[in-house]
């Protein structure tokens, strides 16, 4: 039997509604457009220590206008509530490069960041000559990323990869070229951290792709992979659904 992980959701910030969040919700989601939108990172606590999924955002690496009013709390303080010290976190899995998921790397001074090669090569590659793509990365992020690469703190993987017994990544693309999910063995079965493959439970339950995508077909297939990889439907976790948090900033979901 592989080791099992406890799964925690931690809210680093919250937008007052979908319009203010900068996130395009699922199709026909206008009925819920005024709902608050949480920005969530994850902690998978296992026998060999904690693995974090995504870094959240760092005010130094996003625009001031975006960072303001997001009810922000730094990840180290949230992780401390479950007994995790950030300087002991050695692995952070990055689901994709969007700013609310991967601009908080400075909060994890000793971690190696696990990224799909397709994601890294897209955001550092030739398509960045187009402002539409390039403007999605704030100016200070790429130099900081290069410093992490030079320091040997970026691990590029290709496709589905087992990282530790009972813990792996699932390459799906769709939302971004190298979007990946995380699968983890838990006491209840295999859980899936969807990243932005699914913003809300509605995306999963109704197989509705998110409104921000690089490849729509891959987004649709990714939802099926999330459901089929999880042992049971309620073990597939979206990344921006307020109901996950049960009214708390930090909550164990498995």
> In whole angstroms, what is the distance from residue 41 CA to residue 175 CA?
17
Predicted confidence at residue 119, as pLDDT, reads 97
DSSP secondary structure, 79-115, as one string: HHTTT--GGG--EEE-S---TTTBS-GGG-TTPEEEE
- Whether the Cβ atoms of residue 181 and residue 119 lie closer than 8 Å to each other: no
DSSP state letter for 123: H
Q: What is the pLDDT of residue 25?
A: 65
Q: pTM here?
A: 0.95
DSSP H or E segment with residue 132: helix 131-134
Q: Where are the beta strands (DSSP E) in the chain?
A: 6-15, 37-46, 49-53, 91-93, 112-116, 154-157, 161-164, 167-171, 180-186, 189-193, 236-237, 250-252
Sites in the chain below the pLDDT cut of 70: 20, 22, 24-32, 69
Sheet with 161-164: strands ordered across:
161-164, 167-171, 180-186, 189-193, 236-237
* Closest by CA position to 109, among listed 157, 68, 58: 58
Contact 41, 75 (CB under 8 A): yes
Q: Please, are residues 237 and 194 in contact by the beta-carbon 8 Å criterion? A: yes
Q: Which fold has domain 6-167+240-252?
A: Metallo-beta-lactamase; Chain A (3.60.15)
Number of helical (H) and strand (E) elements in the chain, helices listed first: 8, 12
Q: Are 187 and 254 in contact (CB under 8 A)?
A: yes
């Amino acid at each position: 039997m592989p080791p099992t992980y406890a799964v925690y959701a931690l809210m680093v910030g919250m937008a007052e509604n979908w319009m203010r969040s900068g996130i395009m919700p699922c199709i026909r989601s206008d009925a819920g457009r005024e709902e608050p939108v949480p920005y969530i990172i994850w902690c998978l606590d296992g026998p060999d220590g904690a693995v974090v999924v995504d870094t959240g955002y760092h005010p130094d690496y996003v625009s001031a206008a975006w960072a303001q009013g997001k009810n922000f709390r730094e990840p180290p303080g949230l992780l401390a509530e479950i007994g995790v010290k950030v300087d002991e976190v050695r692995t952070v899995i990055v689901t994709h490069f969007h700013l609310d998921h991967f601009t908080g790397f400075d909060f994890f001074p000793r971690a190696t960041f696990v990224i799909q090669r397709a994601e890294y090569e897209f955001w550092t590659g030739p398509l960045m000559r187009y402002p539409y793509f390039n403007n999605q990365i704030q100016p200070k992020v790429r130099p900081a990323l290069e410093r992490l690469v030079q320091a040997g703190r970026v691990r590029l993987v290709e496709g589905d990869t087992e990282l530790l017994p009972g813990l792996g990544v699932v390459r799906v693309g769709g939302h971004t070229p190298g979007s990946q999910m995380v699968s983890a063995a838990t006491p209840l079965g295999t859980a899936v951290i969807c990243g932005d493959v699914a913003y809300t439970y509605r995306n999963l339950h109704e197989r509705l792709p998110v409104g921000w995508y690089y490849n729509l077909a891959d987004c649709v297939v990714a939802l099926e992979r999330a459901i089929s990889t999880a042992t049971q439907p309620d073990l597939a976790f979206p990344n921006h659904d307020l109901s996950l948090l049960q009214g708390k900033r930090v909550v164990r979901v498995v």
